Structure 1
Amino acid sequence: MPDHGTPTITPGREWALLILGGIVTVLVLVAAAWVLFTPRAANTPEAEPAARPVPTATPEPTAVTAPTAAVAPGTPKPASCTDIYSPEMEDAFGDLVLNPEWTTEPGADVRDGADDPDLLKIIASSEHLSCRWVSPDGASGSGVFTSLVWVTEEQAAAVETRLRALGFECYEELEGLRCITETSSDTDTAGQSHFLRGGIWLATQYVNAGPDGYTHDMINTIWAGA
């Protein structure tokens, strides 16, 4: 019968067990060292995401002023209405006077050398002199109203185009362009005379007044010596 006592370990098997045990021990020690000595990330709170930059208020755009349109070089620049008439013309008006005080009062019944809205816009938006020969006592049924307007080439062309469209008779005169119209009745004579030369527009309205040669006198005085 076989012997069932304690099994006998042979020397070869004993060595194998010792080697296997040593390997296990080494692995355990390596694992322990890795756990003990491997550096760990600091236990810091998660960094807050960078805050979005708060947009600053958009600055108001700098107002850009359109440059004043330049008139043609050498354009005459009378300082006042008295500089555009000869002494003879001033005497020819008789009882009418130049720019009496009442013409500057709010709501004064005066004219500006034109009655067309498009032409009046150009006068109002441009540098100009308002020269009005009227009664010294207030509005009446007679007077001569001239606006001396400094204009650019583009404005002068627009004025000419508008005058022709309105049916004015236009022709060349005294180195410029003259456009006229007139209406008459049994009691009144009214009309307009416009003259364009260089950078100047002479816009004139008249009602029952106006000495002969009025526009020619202004041209010869303004461009004296030209």
Structure 2
Amino acid sequence: MPAHGTQTITTGRQWVLLILGGIVTVVVVLAAVWVIFTPRPANTPEENAGGRPAPAAAPSPVPVTAPTAVVAPGTPKPASCNEIYSPDMVAAFGDLVLNPAWTTEPGADVRVGADDPELRAIINASEHLSCRWVSPAGASGSGVSTSVVWVTAEQTAAVEARLRALGMECYEELGGLRCITETSAGADSIGQSHFLRGGIWLATQYVNAGPDGYTHDMVNSIWAGA
């Protein structure tokens, strides 16, 4: 029989304590596993090393669609201004030259073939060739500027309507429509000639220059054999 004051744990009580300790251990382990493997909510931002939310992924770039060409199959398409003039027309310009370097410099004083804002807007928005016969030394008081413009049927109708609204004289010629106007400002002769045919618009401005048959020569060169 043990002395007074000494506690004795019976065998039954030891088993109870062992079972309780095992249960507590299992609960702790299961809690740890739940914390580790439970997925984070979808709207919980991932945090970087600095404790701030990581930036969202950049949006994908929007593809840019190239404009569709308006040139209809079979429409003549000269690659350069050199292809739209005959040798005789080139010789007829004398001291004026085709597209000298200064005409492409920023801020160059050049014309586009029409002085009306609505017509210029169509030229600038469309595929075109800029062909200018001017002095090689720079802007002067004479020259001829033509834009060879490829246009849709709708644009052709809009150009014709605008030319007529501006009071130009229009008539059928060489399988197309020709519209002309000419004015005088002092000693200067200033005019325009426009020709529409089969998806092409020849828009021409001239000041104190322009050999006879200039538009006819372009038409015969562009539609050679037609």
Q: TM-score, normalization: structure 2?
A: 0.73
- Partners of 2:149 and 2:201 within 8 A in 1: yes
SS in 2 for 1:77: coil
1:116 to partner: Cα distance: 1.0
Q: Secondary structure at the match of 1:178?
A: strand
Provide the rounded CA distance (Å) in 2 between the counterparts of 1:52 and 1:167.
73
Matched residue, 1:137: 137
Q: Which residue of 2 aligns with 1:36?
A: none
Larger Rg: 1
Structure 2 counterpart of 1:82: 82
**In the alignment, which residue of structure 2 is the partner of 1:211?**
211
Q: Could you tell me which residue of structure 2 aligns to residue 156 of structure 1?
A: 156
Residues 119 and 162, structure 1, Cα contact 8 Å, conserved in 2: yes
Structure 1 residues 62 and 131: CA distance shift in structure 2, 3 A = same
**What's the counterpart of residue 194 of structure 1?**
194
TM, length-normalised to structure 1: 0.73
Could you tell me which amino acid in structure 2 is paired with residue 142 of structure 1? S
Q: 1:11 maps to what in 2?
A: none
> Residue 186 of structure 1: CA displacement?
4.1
Identity score, percent: 79
Residue type at the aligned position of 1:162: R
Cα RMSD between the aligned structures?
A: 2.3
Shift of 1:70: 2.5
Gaps of 5+ in 1: 1-50
* Aligned residues of 2:143 and 2:209 also touching (Cα < 8 A): yes
Q: Deviations over 1:163-208 (max 9, x none)?
A: 1111111111111111111002440100000001011110000000
Instruction: Tell me, yes or no, if the aligned pair for 2:145 and 2:206 is still in contact at 8 Å.
Output: yes
Per the alignment, residue 38 of structure 1 pairs with none
Change (3 A) 1:209 1:57: same
1:12-57 Cα shifts (integer Å, max 9, x gaps): xxxxxxxxxxxxxxxxxxxxxxxxxxxxxxxxxxxxxxx9864x98
For structure 2, which runs of at least 5 residues remain unmatched after alignment? 1-39, 44-55
Correspondences of 1:92-111 after superposition (within 5 Å): 92-111=92-111
